[in-house]
Amino acid sequence: MPPPIRTCILTCGEKNIASSDASATKNRLKTMSSLTASELKEKGNKAFKNGEFEIAEENYSLAIQKRSDDPIFYTNRAFVRLRLQNWQGTVSDCQRSIEFTGKAPNYKAHFYLGRAQLELNHPHEALTAALVAYDQVMYPESDRERAAASSIPSILTLLIACKRRTFEARQSEHQRSKADLLVKLEQSLQDTRRVGLQRIEEDLRANAIGPIQAEEERMEIESTAEQEIDNLRSFFAVADPTNHPKKEIPDWAIDTITFELMHDPVITR
């Protein structure tokens, strides 16, 4: 039985819409391909200001296709990719931008790189990038860079976040190290227990001790081993951070000059 007319009409209509959208996209890309790289960048900037991030990314990508050695194009696309939460894409664009600028200042690329690396849970890499951005803004080499002083609060916020995350990463690593140490110490106690039981069996076979004495010594070795393992686990449990409230690092505890944790901060009113 042929499908109902209504279904056929809807299907045909959907095909027409899809065809129309594909044609519109093709025409738009054809029009954009006739623009220069700078014109595409400006279109991207306009789309970004209007909150049209996908369109902005597309324009910056086309600009890069036309002029792939301009670091500004990569930095602009990195920024819009931050808004799109495309962290790995942001990292790639920032690295390309920095590659083209070399040792020349490029604080935006380093700043965006730091933000993306932090989102990817790479706090050490994020801190390195944020410190470079901070140095370039704090110690500018040109008037253009001096105008970037307004970015200092945002960079400071990123630096403090990076320091906090690196501290948390060190805590996690310390916890993993303690867990590994606990396993090794337990294994050592088990080895001592096994050697002791083996010695008893050897003495028993050599008639150096009798069955009753052998059983008593076995019980003593087993009891001692269990007690030592329990004590060891209790000791590590007391030192385990997961059994205590999480340490939160307040912003004021991070020195805004060295960006290290202050050991003896002086609080004034």
CA 130 to chain centre: 14
Are 140 and 146 spatial neighbours (Cβ–Cβ below 8 Å)?
yes
Q: How far is CA 127 from CA 70, 108, 123, 163, 165, in A?
A: 26, 14, 6, 7, 9
Predicted confidence pLDDT, tens digits, the chain (269 residues): 555 544 444 455 555 555 556 665 666 666 667 789 999 999 999 999 999 999 999 999 999 999 999 999 999 999 999 999 999 999 999 999 999 998 889 999 999 999 999 999 999 999 999 999 999 988 877 666 666 777 889 999 999 999 888 888 887 777 777 778 888 888 898 899 899 999 999 988 888 888 888 899 999 999 998 999 888 888 888 766 565 555 555 555 555 545 555 545 545 54
Are 69 and 35 spatial neighbours (Cβ–Cβ below 8 Å)?
no
The structure's pTM equals 0.62
What is the CATH number assigned to the segment(s) 28-164? 1.25.40.10
Beta bridge partners of residue 261, listed in sequence order: 254
Sequence ranges of the domains in the chain: 28-164, 170-253
Six-digit token string for 36 = 């220069």
